[in-house]
Structure 1
């Protein structure tokens, strides 16, 4: 989903699904097809309230999270308010030593069907001293790359971070010679 602000400085009220979005929508016969990012941690888990506060603080700045799927029309429709308490959940899986139970929970638990944007965040308490944070969405709504950026923006300690830009360097004589050799060899 590519979004740009309208003339009034707001997100558009609706956005047409792209070809790939429609393909996933049709392949899943209109049912959600989950994309999940799970991050396992050792140590004390955050509280559900603190996680909800983080998501509430950050969600407003992520345009995609403000849309729901109008499945019958193959469009995304904007919602003006995001209720973090309805998008952030908690579960206890104390026997989940390898994360497989968390994966099953994320893939089997129904996604919302009440007209909210199709994403949620889960705090899953595992064996003593371990927890997992999960971001889950519908593949017709976000692809894997979009979901990865959203998960980082919602849950990361440095949501704006990323690889440090490398300084621009001038080409070296050896690099130019190698490139010219490759070009000559191509002919």
Structure 2
């Protein structure tokens, strides 16, 4: 009589190898999303200058409370009006030394764009979205003025020139030409956006 065999056995000896290969595959092919932060380039650390006094009129104060309300120059302000007020401050040219400024030349406001500082302060409970929106409006004020001067001097927007200059795929010959132009426009309206306490005088 023939001997009846048991159920066929499954060879599981290589299962560990297969699992390891699958693990490697998924690790290599999976992309991990990362949170995007603020696109800010911090200035280099420089030794503090002694006896630097900044006139109060050269500081444009923006405060955000925990409810998201804006207090601009001690006045409750809507977000939609923030950029306009910032532009008026930066473009004021109060001391008459700015020959490209088109502001009111109010002697109680900023003397010159190179001296104008925007001071942003917020409550610890301020919503992140509100903070980012306010930052965007203030940076937008700088870009609007820079675009105006870039159009006057070079016939194109500063934001386009800067994007092309920062693009690593831009040929070096074009980047070399853009470097001086971008720097010149930045010097006309230097972005001085501070979130620190500033020593002031009247």
Give the TM-score category using the shorter length: under 0.3
- Greater radius of gyration (CA): 2
Structure whose residues are more often helix by fraction: 2
TM-score norm. by structure 1 comes to 0.25
Q: Which has the higher strand share?
A: 1
